């Protein structure tokens, strides 16, 4: 972009004058006064005191010359902390492979003593407590400091945010000029240079267990994420920067794309868009640096490094993305620029930000008292709201605790809430509720028994409670960068519901619950895990999620195998073979004639084959099932559907009559023998039919199989159409998987395979293979324009028609995520600019 000379103070003052950014409450009030930085943050010449060693002195290389290693990052962080009285350091977690996650805190020396840090934490806790008297809150806002976080490298192959954060740390530790002291005097800055040291060392996006940790924030399944959230609760942010890289050579920073989750506080969106976004845009324009916003990255799914800080902490959670095609020094410089500009803008408006932070807590509490849910909103015209939040009051959530088989799962949900500052109480006496709405059921009167967990919405964490306990996410806009449903009770398959009535239950506060012991005891079978491909992204993730569950939760030993191992005869001794997702066609070819015969023979001779997604397709190609597989004709991009569990099946133990299946464009399974269907999608006319999240055409699943269980000679196949262990947080269907591994065979054997299963094998072989595809569905009238647009982008696709809808599945053979894909990130905006109103756009 062409450079423009703009005075920093004038730009910042104009940007911050927008009433939307600093309205004191939801009601119209005058905009709060705004202060520009006392000196220009980027054009002030840095003055170093010389107390802190330079990176070249400490590491032998200047920051930005090349990516530092995880060990070098740790070494330099500790060198700065050891040399500067303005910096203290610590370790907030240890990675799966044993590497430390080092952090540093920078601020005034008196704030970094034990008493000083305790004071900052105490002030933050009081501002976040709606019971704090307003006069005291105002005094704290007047004298206190906001806590600002800078974090990098949650994706291990996106390194430049780490190096930029280390430069920020050095500057705060050693510079004496007014730009640095302006931040130090008015903020406490937490620097977490790398969130994924294992991935950084391996050069992989995911961590050692194959988890994309920018999807793990609410579940906290990984030690790296769990330690980070524990630290965030100690030092709650008003700003959280999550520094990434993406494809291309431009730079993305907010404002974000739609959709935005409805319980995202408006003041925080104002900060993101009108304070930080405007400040960075002004500086990038001044320097002639290319950037874009309002595209690609949304604030919807509550598992990101921007959404969770925003919803749970009322912070300005922000994703920054620098194009990885740029030279490394440019990446480093621009990442540093966005971090420094944002810190400077926050520090310059310290008091206003703290006052607004406090106001969000009070507003949330009052909304919870009134049972008001925030409405859906489109932030980027001409986007329109497809699905408003229902006009129903929600004052309370309840979790039933009267099913002994689900006790551990209920306690896990309660503990997750407690660890984010949510108060949970337990009914001392039965409670009559006139408008109880059980999850996915009609509203009606009921009496909840004593012992039921009660979560009132009249809390400071009201937004987070709704995000975690919702029945539905009420997706406002048909564009998806990730999943559309994540309700904790549904994922855990525990009974609960909500009420909007004004109730006064007799209840006592639940003390913090310890972590559940999830180890599976007793004699375990010899388990093998077949990884369908060593290079496939989908296989790496699905196998990684399974390895985590087996290693760290269930503590079940296993042997990891590849197709070549099967061909070499290494199935001997394996009793249960788990075959997660991955490219079935690739595995089928790599098995070869000998490997395919070995796998068929092993199953026929008594082996238990348990597969899902690609593993199910492989079983069908091998003739190990009579189930017929087909591509979906619906648009269901990452959604929870209630499924009915056959109580006579050994898979049902401890699960109950229903569960919630996570489904994302998975194969549709049709099994002609009902006796072989262990879990099914209910008929759409059944009261059990319910969908949480986005769907178009999900009715095609009604009456089809979710899990089949059938004999194969002396052996058995258990096949899931969808992932039962999605990101290791779909605990309800993971229990079905555990039963498939550890449970007995069915008591009554149903009729055997219809030899030779040729039809099922032929249909499975004909299924298209798509690795992390881009999906676009449009109405027939828009098909020609859509195809022309995709041709102009160089896309290759398959297409199918369902009624008036045309579904395009765009090939993504390298399994690139959207931020590394050559055109997926801009696709939604280009569709919009072309005048196309899509049915759904789903990005990998």
The model's pLDDT over 826-837, given as tens digits with 9 standing for 90+, comes to: 888 888 888 898
Q: Checking DSSP bridges between strand 188-192 and strand 100-106, what pairing results, if any?
A: antiparallel
CATH of domain 8-365: 3.40.630.10
Report the C-alpha gap between 335 and 324 in whole angstroms. 11
Its sign, for the CA torsion 652, 656, 661, 666, is: positive
What integer pLDDT is reported at residue 769 of this predicted model? 79
In 126-146, which positions are buried (b, 16+ CB within 10 angstroms) versus exposed (e)? bbbbbebeeeebeebbeebbb
Question: In CATH, which of 3.30.70.240, 1.20.1050.10, 1.20.1560.10, 3.20.20.70 is domain 774-842?
Answer: 3.30.70.240
pLDDT band at 772 (very low <50, low <70, confident <90, very high): confident
pLDDT band at 273 (very low <50, low <70, confident <90, very high): very high
Q: Checking DSSP bridges between strand 431-438 and strand 443-448, what pairing results, if any?
A: antiparallel
pLDDT band at 16 (very low <50, low <70, confident <90, very high): very low
What would the mean pLDDT of 417-441 be, rounded to a whole number?
98
* 773 prior amide bond cis, ω within 30: no
DSSP string, 326-349: S-HHHHHHHHHHHHHHHHHHHHHT
Lowest mean pLDDT among 9-13, 37-41, 165-169, 686-690: 9-13
What would the mean pLDDT of 424-446 be, rounded to a whole number?
98
Q: Residues 47-68: pLDDT tens digits?
A: 999 999 999 999 999 999 999 9
Task: Indicate if the pLDDT at residue 204 is higher than 70.
Answer: yes
What integer pLDDT is reported at residue 755 of this predicted model? 52
Report the C-alpha gap between 357 and 380 in whole angstroms. 24
CB distance 612 to 720 below 8 Å: yes
Judge if 8-365 and 774-842 fold alike in CATH terms.
Answer: no
Length of the chain: 844
Find the helix packing angle between 328-348 and 160-174, rounded to 10°: 50
Which comes out higher in pLDDT, residue 204 or 23? 204
pLDDT band at 296 (very low <50, low <70, confident <90, very high): confident
Task: Indicate if the pLDDT at residue 15 is higher than 50.
Answer: no
Q: Checking DSSP bridges between strand 840-842 and strand 479-480, what pairing results, if any?
A: parallel
Q: Residues 215-259: pLDDT tens digits?
A: 999 999 999 999 999 999 999 999 999 999 999 999 999 999 999
Domain 527-766 has CATH 3.40.50.880: yes
555: left (phi over 0), alpha (psi -120 to 50) or beta: left
Report the C-alpha gap between 417 and 465 in whole angstroms. 8
DSSP-assigned letter for residue 275: I
Find the helix packing angle between 407-418 and 462-469, rounded to 10°: 150
Mean confidence (pLDDT) of the chain? 93
Domain boundaries defined on the chain: 8-365, 396-509, 527-766, 774-842
Nearest to 549 by CA among 831, 227, 826, 222: 222
Q: Residues 311-354: pLDDT tens digits?
A: 999 999 999 999 999 999 999 999 999 999 999 999 999 999 99
Please state whether the predicted TM-score (pTM) of the whole model is above 0.85. yes
DSSP-assigned letter for residue 635: B
Which comes out higher in pLDDT, residue 37 or 183? 183
What integer pLDDT is reported at residue 34 of this predicted model? 52
């Amino acid at each position: 972009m062409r450079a423009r000379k703009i005075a920093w103070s004038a730009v910042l003052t104009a940007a911050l004058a927008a009433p939307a950014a600093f309205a004191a409450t939801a009601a119209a009030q005058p905009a709060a006064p705004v202060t520009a930085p006392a000196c220009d943050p980027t054009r002030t010449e840095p003055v170093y005191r010389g107390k802190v060693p330079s990176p070249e002195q400490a590491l032998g290389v200047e920051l930005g010359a090349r990516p530092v290693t995880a060990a070098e990052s740790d070494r330099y962080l500790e060198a700065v902390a050891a040399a500067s009285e303005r910096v203290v350091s610590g370790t907030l977690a240890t990675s799966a492979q044993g590497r430390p996650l080092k952090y540093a805190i920078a601020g005034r020396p008196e704030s970094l003593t034990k008493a000083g840090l305790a004071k900052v934490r105490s002030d933050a806790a009081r501002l976040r407590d709606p019971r704090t008297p307003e006069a005291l809150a105002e005094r704290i806002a007047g004298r206190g400091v906001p806590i600002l976080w800078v974090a990098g490298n949650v994706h291990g192959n996106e390194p430049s945010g780490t190096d930029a954060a280390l430069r920020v740390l050095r500057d705060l530790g050693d510079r004496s000029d007014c730009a640095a002291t302006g931040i130090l005097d008015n903020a406490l800055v937490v620097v977490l240079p790398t969130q994924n040291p294992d991935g950084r060392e391996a050069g992989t996006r995911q961590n050692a267990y194959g988890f994309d940790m920018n999807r793990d924030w609410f579940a906290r399944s990984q030690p790296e994420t769990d330690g980070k959230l524990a630290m965030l609760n100690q030092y709650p942010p008003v700003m959280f920067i999550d520094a990434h890289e993406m494809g291309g050579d431009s730079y993305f920073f907010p404002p974000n794309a739609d959709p935005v989750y409805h319980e995202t506080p408006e003041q925080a969106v104002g900060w993101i868009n009108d304070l930080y976004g405007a400040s960075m845009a002004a500086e990038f324009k001044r320097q002639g640096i290319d950037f874009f916003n309002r595209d690609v990255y949304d604030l919807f799914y509550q598992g990101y490094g921007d959404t969770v800080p925003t919803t749970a902490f009322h912070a300005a959670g922000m994703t920054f993305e620098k194009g990885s095609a740029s030279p490394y020094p440019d990446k480093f410089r621009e990442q540093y620029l966005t971090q420094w500009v944002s810190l400077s803008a926050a520090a310059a408006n310290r008091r206003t930000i703290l006052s607004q932070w406090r106001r969000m807590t009070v507003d949330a509490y009052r909304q919870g008292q009134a049972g008001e849910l925030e409405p859906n909103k489109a932030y980027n015209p001409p986007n329109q709201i497809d699905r408003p939040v229902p006009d129903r009051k929600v004052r309370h959530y309840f979790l039933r605790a009267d099913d002994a088989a689900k006790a551990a799962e209920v306690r896990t949900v309660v503990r997750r809430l407690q660890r984010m500052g949510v108060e949970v109480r337990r009914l001392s006496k039965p409670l009559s509720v006139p408008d109880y709405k059980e999850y996915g059921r009609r509203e009606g009167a009921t009496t909840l028994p004593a012992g039921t967990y009660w979560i009132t919405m009249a809390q400071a964490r009201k937004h987070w409670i709704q995000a975690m306990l919702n029945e539905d996410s009420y997706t406002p806009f048909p564009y998806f960068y990730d999943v559309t449903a994540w309700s904790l009770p549904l994922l855990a398959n525990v009974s609960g519901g909500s009420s909007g009535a004004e109730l006064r239950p007799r209840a006592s506060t639940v003390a913090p619950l310890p972590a559940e012991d999830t180890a599976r005891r007793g004699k375990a079978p010899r388990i093998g895990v077949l990884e369908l491909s060593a290079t496939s992204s989908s296989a790496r993730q699905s196998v990684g999620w399974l390895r985590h569950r087996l290693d760290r939760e269930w503590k079940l030993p296993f042997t990891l195998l590849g197709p070549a191992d099967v061909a070499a005869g290494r199935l001997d001794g394996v009793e249960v073979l788990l075959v997660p997702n991955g490219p079935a066609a690739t595995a089928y070819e790599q098995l070869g004639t000998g490997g395919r015969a070995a796998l068929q023979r092993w199953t026929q001779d008594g082996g238990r084959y348990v597969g899902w997604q690609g593993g199910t397709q492989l079983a069908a190609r091998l003739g190990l099932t009579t189930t017929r597989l087909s591509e979906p004709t619906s648009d269901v991009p990452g959604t929870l559907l209630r499924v009915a569990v056959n109580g006579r099946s050994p898979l049902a133990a401890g699960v109950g009559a229903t569960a919630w299946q996570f489904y994302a464009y998975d194969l549709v399974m049709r099994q002609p023998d009902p006796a072989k269907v262990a879990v099914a999608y209910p008929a759409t006319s059944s009261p059990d039919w319910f969908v949480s999240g986005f769907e178009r055409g999900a009715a095609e699943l009604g009456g089809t199989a979710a899990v089949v269980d059938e004999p194969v000679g002396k052996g058995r196949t258990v096949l899931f159409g969808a992932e039962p262990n999605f990101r290791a947080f779909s605990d309800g269907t993971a229990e079905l998987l555990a039963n498939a591994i550890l449970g007995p065979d069915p008591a009554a054997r149903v009729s055997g395979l219809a030899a030779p299963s040729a039809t099922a094998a032929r249909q499975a072989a004909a299924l298209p293979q798509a690795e992390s595809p881009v999906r676009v569905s449009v109405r027939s009238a828009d098909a020609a324009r859509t195809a022309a647009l995709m041709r102009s982008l160089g896309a290759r696709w398959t297409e199918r028609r369902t009624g008036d809808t045309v579904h395009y599945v765009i090939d993504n053979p390298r399994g690139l995520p959207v931020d590394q894909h050559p055109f997926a990130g801009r696709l939604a905006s280009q569709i919009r600019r072309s005048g196309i109103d899509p049915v759904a756009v789903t990005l990998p």
